[in-house]
Structure 1
Amino acid sequence: MTLRGERAAVVLSAEDYDRLSGKKKSLAEYLLTGPVWDDDFAEEVNRRSDTMIRDIDF
């Protein structure tokens, strides 16, 4: 909507307004709501070692 030719207002559904103005997700919540892993990727992640130590070549 305009007022004297200038942008003045935006009309949104209540659902869109709530989504845009609502509480922001924490980083953890954001990451946990990401795309679903396909079976091959999930299998590869589960196959990894539990330790953070990795062999590297110099």
Structure 2
Amino acid sequence: MIEIDGSQKSGSGTILRLSVALAAVTKQPLHIYNIRQNRPQAGLMPQHLEAVLTAAKL
């Protein structure tokens, strides 16, 4: 399982998108915690959720 601390570096949605891509390519489960923790609005925004849902369809 790939585990990612989403609060590292800038804590942006880029971590989410790259992590999802890595998990898809390696066919491993993914756990992201503290997603966007350091951002003014922490957590997933609608566009981040949409990116994950779109990747799941591929």
TM-score (norm 2): 0.27
Richer in strand (by share): 2
Richer in helix (by share): 2
Q: Bigger relative contact order, structure 1 or 2, given CA contacts below 8 A and separation 6+? A: 2
**Rg larger for:** 1
